[in-house]
Amino acid sequence: MSSYDVVIVGGGPSGAAAAYDLAEAGFRVMILDKKEFPRFKPCAGGVTTKALHLFRYSIAPVIRSTTNTMVVGHGTGKQKTLSTNAPICALTVRTELDQFCLEKTLQQQNVTFELIPGIKSIHQEKDTVTLITKDDRSFECRYLLGADGAHSQVRKLTGEFTPDRTAVALEGIIPYDRLKNIPEFTFDFGVVHKGYGWLFPKHDHVNVGLYTRRPDEVKISKVQLNQYVQTRLGVDTVDHVCGFPIGTGGEHYQPTSKRVFLVGDAAGMSEALLGEGIHNAIKSGQAAAGALITAKRSNSSALEAYKEAIYPVKHDALNCRKVARIFYKVLPVSYAFLSHYPVGTMAMNGFAAGLTLTECKHHMTSFKIDPKIVEPSSLTEYHH
């Protein structure tokens, strides 16, 4: 039986972020994953400024492009271009991003990686957790982190959390050579029920997709995606179309286990307004790592430390849920507010400054967001 301080199931952004910080603090860490990297990961691949600020290293080598402009639309009719004096998002391909982050993490002396076919069982004792894989290998650890996505096996086997909502997205790519004009970074709200269509240009292709926060009320399809890109881009086909769940509802996650913690989509940490998950994946992974480090240094409860550390992520997810309910319910009105001064301008400046929605709301309420707080060079270090 292999023994470690921490075993992390899942080598994506949340698992890699946790492993990186734990290894730096001297923990012996094992990452387990069902897929060998690089592995295909369906995702729009937008890395917000707030997410970029969380990385412990530059991700410049895998940034395809950056944007300080965002086009917002209502359906496929009205559109408004919003801009600020600094980038609001870096565009990546998740296959490349995840491999890069995992490699950076594995360079840490105390992090190892193994492929597994799946998990057979998880056994929690007073001082240890034992994970048994489907090929009957055993891994013993003091703490187990479930960073294995929206369909988390760790979550299901431990019963640690049952999310009440899962959003859904459908995405594909269109090579630049098929397009007459390259679109800007775009969100077309209302193209689908309680969701939007997106266009993310990435150096040699456009990532296109549809998102809905309420898949229980509406099913999105390839036909709808083709109709959307035909209207917006004038093309008939989309390559590599793939649907995927997005773990939301994490505002209701109440950790109860003393030795098993969930992070990222496994804990429902993607926000419900736009379905953006990379920021909260990294932040929750780092929160879990910080809690374990604190517990070791102070000989205190890791559970209580994690409850405290994860609270800001949960609080922002709750605020995003509240805003999403109102935003999509009264979309013509909310679109009008977003697309005009001062709301649109303040939102863009907030995004460029790396603020969360909770922080943006605070600044908007007090009218403190000002273009002067955004440095034009704030993303330069990330872009090659």
| More confidently predicted of 373 and 346 | 346
Which range among 16-25, 160-169, 309-318 shows the weakest confidence by mean pLDDT? 160-169
* In the predicted structure, residue 382 carries a pLDDT above the cut 90: no
Q: Which helix (H) or strand (E) holds 103?
A: helix 94-106
* In the predicted structure, residue 375 carries a pLDDT above the cut 60: no
Q: Which helix (H) or strand (E) holds 198?
A: strand 195-201
| Secondary structure (DSSP) of 279-304 | HHHHHHHHHHHHHHHHHHHHT--HHH
Residue 380: pLDDT band with limits 50, 70, 90: very low
Within 8 A by CB and 6+ apart from 175, the residues are: 204, 205, 239
CATH architecture for segment(s) 2-45+93-164+249-326: 3-Layer(bba) Sandwich (3.50)
Query: What's the rounded mean pLDDT across residues 176-195?
Result: 96
Residue 340: pLDDT band with limits 50, 70, 90: confident
**CATH 3.30.9.10 fits domain 166-247:** yes
**Domain boundaries for CATH 3.50.50.60 within the chain:** 2-45+93-164+249-326
Paired with 90 in beta bridges are: 47, 66
SS3 per residue for 91-135: EECHHHHHHHHHHHHHCCCCEEEEECCCEEEEEECCCCEEEEECC
Q: Mean pLDDT for the chain?
A: 92
* In the predicted structure, residue 44 carries a pLDDT above the cut 50: yes
Best CA proximity match to 163, nearest among 59, 267, 241: 267
CB atoms within 10 A of CB 366: 8
For position 360, what pLDDT does the model report?
80
Ranked by mean pLDDT, the top range of 160-164, 178-182, 365-369 is: 178-182
9 — phi, psi (to 5°)?
A: -95, 110
| More confidently predicted of 371 and 47 | 47
* In the predicted structure, residue 210 carries a pLDDT above the cut 90: yes
Q: Is the peptide bond before 38 cis (omega within 30 degrees of 0)?
A: yes
Best CA proximity match to 56, nearest among 4, 13, 99: 13
For position 372, what pLDDT does the model report?
40
Q: What is the CA radius of gyration of the chain?
A: 21
Q: Maximum CA pair distance of the chain? A: 63
**Domain boundaries for CATH 3.30.9.10 within the chain:** 166-247
For position 163, what pLDDT does the model report?
85
Query: What's the rounded mean pLDDT across residues 334-341?
Result: 90
HSE on the CB side for 123, CA within 13 Å? 8
For position 359, what pLDDT does the model report?
87
* In the predicted structure, residue 227 carries a pLDDT above the cut 90: yes
pLDDT tens for residues 99-144? 999 999 999 889 999 999 999 999 999 999 999 999 999 999 999 9
For position 365, what pLDDT does the model report?
52
pLDDT tens for residues 238-283? 999 999 999 999 999 999 999 999 999 999 999 999 999 999 999 9
For position 364, what pLDDT does the model report?
55
Q: How far apart are CA 28 and CA 5, in angstroms?
A: 5
Query: What's the rounded mean pLDDT across residues 69-96?
Result: 94
| More confidently predicted of 326 and 365 | 326
* In the predicted structure, residue 40 carries a pLDDT above the cut 80: yes
Q: How far apart are CA 314 and CA 163, in angstroms?
A: 13
pLDDT tens for residues 274-315? 999 999 999 999 999 999 999 999 999 999 999 999 999 999
